[in-house]
Structure 1
Amino acid sequence: MTPLAVAQAALRHYPVDPSATLTMLNISENATYAVDDPVARRRTVLRVHRTGYHSLESIESELAWLDALRTDAGVRTPQVLPSVYGKRVVSIADGAAEPRRVVLFEHLPGTEPPDDDLERAFGVLGGLTARMHEHALRWRRPPRFTRFAWDYDGALGADARWGRWQDGMGVGPAERRLLGRLDATLRHRLEAFGTGPDRYGLIHADLRLANLLVDDSGTFVIDFDDCGLGWFLYDLGAALSFIEDDPRVPALIAAWVDGYRSERPLSAAEEAEIPTFVLMRRLLLVAWIGSHADTDLARGMGEQFTAGTCTLAERYLSDCLL
C-alpha cells in the first residue's frame, strides 16, 4: 500500500468524519498528512511511519518522552490523539511482513522562525535544547523504553542508520580519501570525548529551526521521530543541517551556546569540540542524501553538497593538526 492508502485506511480508526481530506505535508523517513475534518472543523496531523525504521515499542517510547517533556519540563510538544479504541499507535496491515504504524497528533499553531533574525532564533533554540537535555538526565524512563543510538556506529560506522557516506552523491576516489580521513578523525575525537552522563543521553537528534513552531503564545517543538541516545552536542550539529558552510555559522553557534548556558552548564572543553559534531552531522547528511536520492531535498543538494562537505572537511582537519 502507498503511504496515502495507509493514511486513508488509518482514518477509519479515529473519530474523524468520512468526509475528511488528507493533504501531504512532508515525506522523508515518514509520510505526514494534514487531516481536515469539515464536520468537526478541526485539523489534525497524521504520521505514517516508514516500514522497518521503528518498532512499536520504539514509537511508544518516543511518545512517552513527548508527554514527559510537556508535563515535567514545560517544553511544548504535540499531544497524541488516540484512536476510537484508545490506541496511541495504530497498526495497518498492508500485505508486508510488518504492519505500517500510524500516529495522529494535534495540529499546532505557529510557523517556523523567520530567517530575518536567525541569531535570536538560535538563542531560543539553545535554551530549549538545554531544558530538554536537563530533563533527559532526570527523567526515569518507563519500562521497555527503547530508542536507537546516534553513537559512532549508528551514525557513520557498522550500523549506519542512514546508509554509508561512501555511497553519497558525487563521492569519487578523491572524495573517498578525504572524507575517509575525516571519518577516522571524528571517530578518534568522539572516543576521546567520551559518553559520560553529562554529555551523552537522550536527544531530539533533529532539533532544527524547521522543527520549531512559533506563535504569539510561545514555541512548540515537533518531529521527535529521530530522537534517541547520543551526544548532547549532536543537537547543535543537527541545528546547522544544510547550512554548515554559511558565513553566519560562528554567530549562530555563539547565540546557541549563550542560550544553552542560560539553562544548563556547558564547559569550555565541550564548547571546543563543537566543530566535531557539526562535521559529524554533515558527513551523516552525505549518507542521507545518497540513501534518499528519490526525495526532492536530496536531489536539490546532490553532488554540490558532497563538494561543500569536502571543503569543510579540509578546514576541520587542518584545525585538528594545529
Structure 2
Amino acid sequence: MAETYNDRFIKAMQHGVEALLHEWELPASSGVSLLNISENATFVARDPAGERSIIARVHRPGYHTRQEIESELSWIDSLCKAGIVSTAAPLPLNSGGRIAEFSYNGESRLVVGFEFLPGSEPAPQNDLKSDFYALGAITARLHDHSQRWRVPAGFVRKTWDFDSMLGNRPLWGDWREALGLDDQGRRLLEETARHLEKELSAYGKEGHRFGLVHADLRLANLLVDGKTLSVIDFDDCGFSWFMYDFAAAISFIEEDPQIPELQDSWVAGYRSIKKLSTADEAAIPTFIMLRRLLLTAWIASHAETETAQALGPAYTRGTIRLATRYLDTHHHC
C-alpha cells in the first residue's frame, strides 16, 4: 500500500480528477489540489473565477463497491430531503448518474463530487462543549431518521460490529500489528478485546441499539460555520451500535481531559431530541474502548498515512493506558 501514498500517485489521482471536471461543469482550467488522504484521496477543485468549488472524492479500490457507494449517496439524499442534517450534497454528472471513474494502472478508480461547504473543523484546544451539544442533537436526529427510514432495495453498507472490527476478519487490519506493541501490551489488549466481546454480546443488537449510523463523526468530519454545524464524509456509514457514534466523535483525542465534559454535553444534546436510556449511556465507555482498538489497528495497517506517522507508537501506548483504566473500571461488571 505504501506506493499508494507517494507524490507520483497523488499526481496521477489529481490528473484523473482534472480529466473529469467537465462532468461537474467546471472549466478545464480549474485548480485541483489535494485536501487529504486516509481511506480515499479527497481533492478540492476551484474554477479560475473563484465562483464555484467542489469536493472530489477518489475511492481506493477494493474497499467500497459501486453499489455500496450508491447506497451511501441514497442515505445522504434522504437526509438532505428531510432536512435532518447540514451536509454536502452529492453532485450529478453531465453524463448521468453520480459516480464517475478513471483508470490508473489498469484499475478503475471511482469518483464522487460533492458540493463545497463553508466552515472549519473544530479545534481540540478550544472549548468544544457547545459543539458537542449540537453534535449530540444532530446524532439523535440521524439515529431517529435511520430507525424510521425504509432502506431501499439493493442498499448495501458494511456492518461495524465486534467481528468486523476486532474479530478474525477485521476491515481495518489487526490491532496485534500495532506499532511498538510488546508482549505485555499484547496480553493486556487481548484481555481487553475478550472483555469487549463479552460486553457487546450482552448489550445486544436490537433495533433500538443497532442500525445505520454515520460511524465517523470525528472533528475532521465536522464543519463549524457561525451557528451551523455541518457533518461531512459518510464514507464509513454502515450498520453498528448507535452509541458507537459518540466513540467515533472523539477519535484520536480519547485521552483529552475534557472528554467527560464533552460526553455529558453530547448526551444532553442527544436527549434534547431523542430518549436515551441510562443503560445506553452506561455503555459509551465500552464503545470508546472498541473504537480506540479499531483505530490502533487502522494506524498499523495505514502506516504510510500522515495520520499514522504523526501518531505512531505513542498512540499504541495511549491505547494501553486506556485499556488498563477500562479494565480496572469494568472488570466487576
TM over 0.5: yes
What's the counterpart of residue 319 of structure 2?
309
Assess if the C-alpha contact under 8 Å between 2:43 and 2:55 holds in 1.
Answer: yes
What's the counterpart of residue 151 of structure 1?
161
Give, in angstroms, the shift of residue 311 of structure 1.
0.9
Assess if the C-alpha contact under 8 Å between 1:201 and 1:229 holds in 2.
Answer: yes
Residue of 235, 242, 246 corresponding to 1:236? 246
Q: Structure 2: which 5+ runs fail to align?
A: 1-8
1:6 to 2:21 alignment: no
Give, in angstroms, the shift of residue 6 of structure 1.
2.4
Assess if the C-alpha contact under 8 Å between 2:131 and 2:229 holds in 1.
Answer: no
Structure 1 consecutive aligned stretches of length 4 or more whose deviation exceeds 3 Å: none
1:102 to 2:99 alignment: no
**Paired residue secondary structure (1:26):** strand
What's the counterpart of residue 195 of structure 1?
205
- RMSD of aligned C-alpha atoms? 1.4
Q: Structure 1: which 5+ runs fail to align?
A: none
* Aligned pairs for 1:1-322 within 5 A: 2-39=12-49, 41-96=51-106, 98-114=107-123, 115-216=125-226, 218-322=228-332
**Paired residue secondary structure (1:13):** helix
Assess if the C-alpha contact under 8 Å between 1:91 and 1:99 holds in 2.
Answer: yes
**TM-score with structure 2 setting the length:** 0.93
Give, in angstroms, the shift of residue 39 of structure 1.
4.8
CA displacement, residues 25-84 of structure 1 (integer Å, 9 cap, x when unaligned): 111100111101125721111110011110000001101111111112431111111111
Assess if the C-alpha contact under 8 Å between 1:147 and 1:227 holds in 2.
Answer: yes
User: Match of 2:119, as an amino acid?
Assistant: G
**Paired residue secondary structure (1:132):** helix
The whole-number CA distance in structure 2 between the counterparts of 1:316 and 1:309 is 10
The whole-number CA distance in structure 2 between the counterparts of 1:21 and 1:303 is 37
**Paired residue secondary structure (2:127):** helix
Assess if the C-alpha contact under 8 Å between 2:18 and 2:28 holds in 1.
Answer: no
User: Match of 1:193, as an amino acid?
Assistant: Y
User: Match of 1:153, as an amino acid?
Assistant: D
Assess if the C-alpha contact under 8 Å between 2:22 and 2:94 holds in 1.
Answer: no
**Paired residue secondary structure (2:80):** helix
Give, in angstroms, the shift of residue 175 of structure 1.
1.2
CA displacement, residues 152-194 of structure 1 (integer Å, 9 cap, x when unaligned): 1111112211100001111121111010001100011001000
The whole-number CA distance in structure 2 between the counterparts of 1:297 and 1:79 is 27
Q: How many residues align?
A: 321
User: Match of 1:76, as an amino acid?
Assistant: S
User: Match of 2:120, as an amino acid?
Assistant: T
**Paired residue secondary structure (2:265):** helix
CA displacement, residues 62-107 of structure 1 (integer Å, 9 cap, x when unaligned): 01111111112431111111111122011222243x5110011111
Give, in angstroms, the shift of residue 216 of structure 1.
3.1
User: Match of 1:116, as an amino acid?
Assistant: N
Identity percentage of aligned residues: 48
100-109 vs 114-123, which moves further: 114-123
Give, in angstroms, the shift of residue 108 of structure 1.
0.6
CA displacement, residues 195-243 of structure 1 (integer Å, 9 cap, x when unaligned): 0000100000001232111223622110110000000011111011111
Assess if the C-alpha contact under 8 Å between 1:73 and 1:132 holds in 2.
Answer: no
